[in-house]
């Protein structure tokens, strides 16, 4: 999607961000960051999420369209479906989850963790390009890199989670703290543990490959319609120096 883009390294107070590619899509300036690095070499619990978010903000990014591979907890969801989360429950354990480690103590409102106006455009684009789209989803984010146990999936289900992934948090909260509009498109790669015989990374990769063109179409469609996004309050939130 960013053919001919320029690859740069970005330094932040939280360390070096992963190499980012800067280019354009349909005339819109775009920065692409592969969370797991080139060749998928960085596991989810080792991603420097703070450096990623601070780095793209330093480059002038205002809106973030993320992508996540997720396992279905809700039995109505099936591999190949698209889901746009409305809320998230953070079950991660060891990740640095805030940009505000120092005084003054700062509390950010996450009543709407995902930007409502960006979500609206993303949902519209998803419905135009995908066959089955879920729009009120709750994501559970786990530490990884292992997959979840059946008992954990049953617990997440009781708590109201529809799907589970490993990279949704603290990314969404850091984006909120940084004053960025953030929304994510999730593709269901498999049924979660206990809902199918076993869960494998190969299955996730196969589904990702099969859905790549749909994901690209949804992202491109969203970028093309960003001018239709309503005003939001994401960028009026407190910002911290990076």
Domains in the chain, please, with CATH?
A: 63-236 (3.40.50.1580)
CA distance 238 to 98: 13
Q: Which residue has the higher pLDDT, 231 or 160?
A: 160
Say if residue 130's pLDDT is above 70. yes
pLDDT tens column, 77-101? 999 999 999 999 999 999 999 999 9
**Nearest-CA neighbor of 162 among 87, 232, 92, 215?**
87
Tokens of 67: 């992508």
Greater model confidence, 180 or 1: 180
Mean pLDDT of 111-133: 97
Percent of the chain with pLDDT over 70: 98
Q: How many whole angstroms separate alpha carbon 27 and alpha carbon 52?
A: 24
In this predicted structure, the answer to whether residue 206 has a pLDDT above a threshold of 60 is yes
């Amino acid at each position: 999607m960013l053919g001919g883009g320029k690859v740069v390294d970005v330094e932040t107070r939280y360390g070096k961000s992963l190499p980012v590619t800067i280019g354009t899509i349909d005339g819109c300036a775009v920065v692409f960051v592969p969370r797991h690095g080139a060749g998928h070499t960085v596991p989810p619990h080792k991603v420097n999420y703070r450096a990623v978010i601070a780095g793209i903000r330093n480059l002038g990014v205002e809106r973030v369209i993320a992508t996540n591979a997720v396992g279905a907890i809700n039995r109505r969801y099936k591999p190949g479906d698209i889901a746009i989360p409305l809320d998230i429950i953070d079950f991660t354990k060891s990740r640095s989850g805030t940009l505000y480690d120092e005084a003054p103590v700062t509390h950010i409102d996450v009543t709407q963790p995902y930007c409502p106006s960006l979500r609206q455009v993303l949902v519209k684009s998803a419905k135009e390009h995908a066959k089955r789209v879920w729009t009120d989803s709750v994501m559970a984010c786990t530490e990884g890199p292992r997959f979840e146990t059946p008992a954990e999936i049953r617990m997440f289900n009781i708590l109201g989670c529809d799907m589970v992934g490993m990279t949704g948090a603290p990314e969404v909260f850091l984006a909120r703290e940084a004053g960025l509009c953030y929304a994510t498109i999730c593709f269901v790669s498999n049924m979660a543990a206990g809902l199918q015989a076993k869960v494998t990374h190969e299955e996730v990769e196969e589904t990702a490959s099969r859905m790549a063109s749909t994901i690209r179409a949804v992202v491109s469609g969203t970028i093309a319609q960003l001018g239709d996004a309503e005003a939001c309050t994401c960028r009026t939130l407190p910002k911290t120096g990076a």
